Structure 1
Amino acid sequence: MRRFLVLFFLLSSPLMAAELQLRNIGRFDGWKENYLSGIGLVSGLANTGDSARNKTTRQALANLMSRFDLNVQDSQITSRNVASVIVTATLPAVSRPGDRIDVTVTSMGDAKSLVGGALLLTPLKGPNGRIYCLAQGALNVGGYRAESHDSLVQQNHPTVGLIPGGCTVEQGTQIDPQPANGLLRFVLNQPDYVMSASVAAKVRKTLPQLNAVSRDAGLVEIQLPQYVAPDQLVELIASIEAVRVEPVNQIKVVVNERSGVVVAGAQTVISPIAVSYGNLRISINSTSIVAQPLLVINSPDTRASITRDSTIKATEAGASVITRPGNTVADLVALLNAQRVSARDMIAILQAIKASGALYADIVVQ
């Protein structure tokens, strides 16, 4: 029976809610990360790479050898020490040649494990087809796989690896800090009208020389002074990002069915409600009964008869939970845990309470 681990964020009073800087709750429009990808080869595997059936790996390895004046047909390659992989990385909004970023490597063939392998030089391209960085290095795989005589032991996913700092930026990305018409557009990570209006008001109060206007739930426009010297623009943008504002807490209950974790705020209150549930269990037991003939006659037609006796038993174990005024999600989960409720039943109960209007929070099931 899976038990639930409940985590609660204790915010007993508004004074305990810490103010956050604007750079922690949003970004300026145009500042975004860039995704890169490429296809490469991982070598050095201990007979856990792609099999000979994978023509992509054999052809890629043959093409690699041809660059070093080794003419080998792909049909002659049978080694399982090489695997074809997909390489991905995230390029920051501002980067320069020589910067190093992390790389994720995932198997794209039938390799069993990438443990002990090293990624060969792989160019990573952006959506526009241009090469932005080169990846290479030894893989760090947080798992393992051992197989012998039809016995298998596996931990995590050994076909996914990470190379910390394994990608060197060849072509950087820059963003012009000078906004068009002197208008900065600040975008909230989580759109909310209350938060958007609060950000605009706090910017006007902290930096009176700026005019901030909330355009919608996720956008705040900040009008800069008519003339800002280039050497002062960076300091002004840094001052805007450093403005502190009190966040608006969105009440949510997050339930992870796989791990059995419930995350909720301590202020998540449940109205008085009664919850009842039950499980119907049916068990069928079958026994064989052998009946011998009363009079034994020397005849080929004389045989013992076998009959089956089946017993069907149905049991229904039910329980009920009653919440009182002021009860929270923590109290409800504790009561349901005491009743040994499964993960699926826990999610169904929370969703039913939400549908009845007794739970004033959004439920997020992962």
Structure 2
Amino acid sequence: MNAILKFLLGAAGAALLALPLSAQALRIKEVAAVQGVRSNQLIGYGLVVGLDGTGDQTTQTPFTAQSAVAMLQQMGVTVPPGTNMQLKNVAAVMVTAQLPAFAQPGQAIDINVSSMGNAKSLRGGTLIATPLKGADGQIYAMAQGNLIVGGAGASAGGSKVQINHLSAGRIPGGATVERAVATALNQGEFLQLDLNAADFSTARQVAEAINRAKGAGAAEAMDGRVVRVRMPQAPGERVAFLADIENLPIDMATPSAKVVLNARTGSIVMNQAVTLGACAVAHGNLSVSISSTPVVSQPGPLSGGQTVVGEKADIQVKQDPGSLINMPAGTKLTDVVKALNSLGATPQDLLAILQAMKAAGALQAELEVI
């Protein structure tokens, strides 16, 4: 029985190895977006009330008291001039939101609330009705609701404990859309697809995939980023047309070789198209150590001098010997990684080594520093 089972498992494994591995194709919606169909940023200024003594200190943030007075005047409450308002339960905040594409009046969107002043915490606060405006100055939503703050904290006797962030919160569905943003979906004969990254090969494949599915002349690649698509005239047909073409599969071409270097963190990321030519690299570490020792100088007896405290510094410079390492040519990403690992250099050192390899012509890739 065991022999039969082993034979079946071996036959199944051989059959799986014999099957060709199919590459996963991307859909058009993952590499391109419809021009004009995007979200819009909204921003507003408001007040959070109901805080437990953790609001702004009005002596340092006078705009909080001014905003509270203006709000009370709109409600028919007159504050005598010169009144020193100590509003410990009020905080001035900035409210931000993303207005999704095709959002219609009456729909709810999420908002983020962040303190502008020196409020200690927004926990337990309520945002008062705040208009949210777009880049054109028009009001597109109204925000109001109770904040959800994911942090907590306590302080006593000079000690303080805080978990997460207390000066920012979120209100799910806290804004109601008041105005819709017009899109170019139902305007004109053509619609434009914008690729996420400029690439002539990808633009051609997107146009060819649409032409195969919808007929010749349905799409045309204008340049490395724009594909122009001929759309049906009826609005209902346009929605069905876009639903069909955005799910069409395309085979992505091999991307251009690129190495991304983060000079702040030392992170290095390279794609599979990076190749390495044969070269020789010498690498050595240079270290400088400085040690300081306090020195006390005591005056002589009855000399009338003063005790002086000084420092004695000891500086040492050490340079590790670096041997010349022969790095063979590598045409695969694994070969390049093995060659770089053989240097035994830190990520910070690799930043300089990769730049030197590029200057010497041994690294066939584009270097991008972020």
TM-score, normalisation: structure 1: 0.77
Q: Deviations over 1:116-148 (max 9, x none)?
A: 333222111122222111112233334456555
Q: 271-280 or 145-154, which moves further after superposition?
A: 145-154
Instruction: Specify which of 206, 222, 231 is matched with residue 229 of structure 2.
Output: 222
For residues 1-366 of structure 1, the aligned pairs below 5 Å read 17-52=23-58, 53-72=60-79, 75-143=83-151, 151=159, 157-175=165-183, 177-180=185-188, 182-208=189-215, 210-224=217-231, 228-248=233-253, 249-255=255-261, 262-273=268-279, 274=281, 276-286=283-293, 288=295, 300-301=302-303, 311-317=314-320, 323-326=327-330, 328=335, 330-331=337-338, 334=341, 341=346, 344-366=348-370
Partner of residue 3, structure 1: none
Displacement after TM superposition at 1:59 (Å): 1.0
Partner of residue 9, structure 1: none
**Which AA in structure 2 matches 1:300?**
L
| Alpha carbons 2:290, 2:316 under 8 Å: kept | yes
**Distance in 2 separating the partners of 1:348 and 1:80:** 54
**Count, aligned residues:** 342
Does the residue aligned with 2:221 lie in a helix, a strand or coil?
A: strand
Displacement after TM superposition at 1:55 (Å): 1.0
Does the residue aligned with 1:216 lie in a helix, a strand or coil?
A: coil
Does the residue aligned with 1:136 lie in a helix, a strand or coil?
A: strand
Displacement after TM superposition at 1:56 (Å): 0.8
Q: 299-308 or 31-40, which moves further after superposition?
A: 299-308
Displacement after TM superposition at 1:278 (Å): 1.6
Cα distance 1:209–1:193, how it changes in 2: closer, same or farther (>3 A)?
closer
Cα distance 1:84–1:198, how it changes in 2: closer, same or farther (>3 A)?
same
**Which AA in structure 2 matches 1:95?**
A
Q: Deviations over 1:236-278 (max 9, x none)?
A: 2222222221234354444556666544435544434425142
**Distance in 1 separating the partners of 2:52 and 2:230:** 61
Displacement after TM superposition at 1:169 (Å): 0.9
Q: Deviations over 1:37-84 (max 9, x none)?
A: 110112233433321221111111122233444333574321332211
| Alpha carbons 2:28, 2:249 under 8 Å: kept | yes
What is the RMSD computed on CA atoms of the aligned residues?
3.7
| Alpha carbons 2:203, 2:225 under 8 Å: kept | yes
Cα distance 1:60–1:290, how it changes in 2: closer, same or farther (>3 A)?
closer
**Which AA in structure 2 matches 1:325?**
A
| Alpha carbons 1:266, 1:329 under 8 Å: kept | no
Unaligned segments of structure 1, at least 5 residues = 1-13, 294-298
Displacement after TM superposition at 1:353 (Å): 3.8
Q: Deviations over 1:278-301 (max 9, x none)?
A: 2321324436487998xxxxx834
| Alpha carbons 2:266, 2:348 under 8 Å: kept | no
Does the residue aligned with 1:62 lie in a helix, a strand or coil?
A: helix
Q: 312-321 or 58-67, which moves further after superposition?
A: 312-321
Does the residue aligned with 2:285 lie in a helix, a strand or coil?
A: strand
**Distance in 2 separating the partners of 1:198 and 1:312:** 63
Q: 73-82 or 202-211, which moves further after superposition?
A: 73-82
Displacement after TM superposition at 1:303 (Å): 8.6
**Distance in 2 separating the partners of 1:229 and 1:76:** 63
| Alpha carbons 2:110, 2:171 under 8 Å: kept | yes
**Which AA in structure 2 matches 1:97?**
P
| Alpha carbons 2:36, 2:184 under 8 Å: kept | no
TM-score, normalisation: structure 2: 0.76
Does the residue aligned with 1:236 lie in a helix, a strand or coil?
A: helix
Does the residue aligned with 2:205 lie in a helix, a strand or coil?
A: helix
Unaligned segments of structure 2, at least 5 residues = 1-19
| Alpha carbons 1:271, 1:359 under 8 Å: kept | yes
**Which AA in structure 2 matches 1:281?**
V
